[in-house]
Amino acid sequence: MPHLVLLYTPDVERDVDVGALCRALADCMLEQRDEAGKAVFPTGGTRVLAYPAAHSAVADGKGDYGFLYANLRMGAGRSQAVHQQVGDNLMHVLRAHLDALLVKRPTGVTLQIDESPGQVFDAKHSSLHPLFNKTS
């Protein structure tokens, strides 16, 4: 964790490089620092995944409407200031990649951040973390 999942109407891909958006969002997440200057998110646990909706209905269906929903799920323990900072910075990246689309046609963009207060089960198995946890 953290996982940022993008769900969007497939027509968004006509105007947006979703792969580049994913990379920019992941880079933004990795740049985040808390009040003590410590990385907010672990490099090996940072994931951005994007899925075009197989089926969708947006608004009244009478226009060429698009939508992108971004949901960041992270573990508990970060301050409200960090939540706000991360949200503001991720929204900045989303806007940089999507504002031209919003001008071109009606499109909704939502970013939500959820914090997991207490998992009942959380298992991990990864060969990614050791790549970034090496001490020099």
pLDDT per residue as tens digits for the range 69-127? 999 999 888 999 999 999 999 999 999 999 999 999 999 999 999 988 765 556 666 66
CB 30 within 8 A of CB 39: yes
- Tell me whether residue 83 is exposed, middle or buried, using C-beta atoms within 10 angstroms of its C-beta: 0 to 12, 13 to 18, 19 or more: middle
Neighbours of 94 (CB within 10 A): 20
Q: Look at 47 and 122; give whichever has higher pLDDT.
A: 47
The verdict on pTM exceeding 0.85 is: yes
Q: What is the pLDDT at residue 1?
A: 79
Note the pLDDT of residue 73. 93
- Work out the widest C-alpha separation in the chain, in whole angstroms: 59
Length of the chain: 136
| pLDDT digits 0-9 by tens, 34-45 | 999 999 999 999
Separation of alpha carbons 75 and 65, rounded Å: 33
Domain residue ranges of the chain, discontinuous segments joined by +: 3-132
> For the domain bounded by 3-132, which CATH number is listed?
3.30.429.10
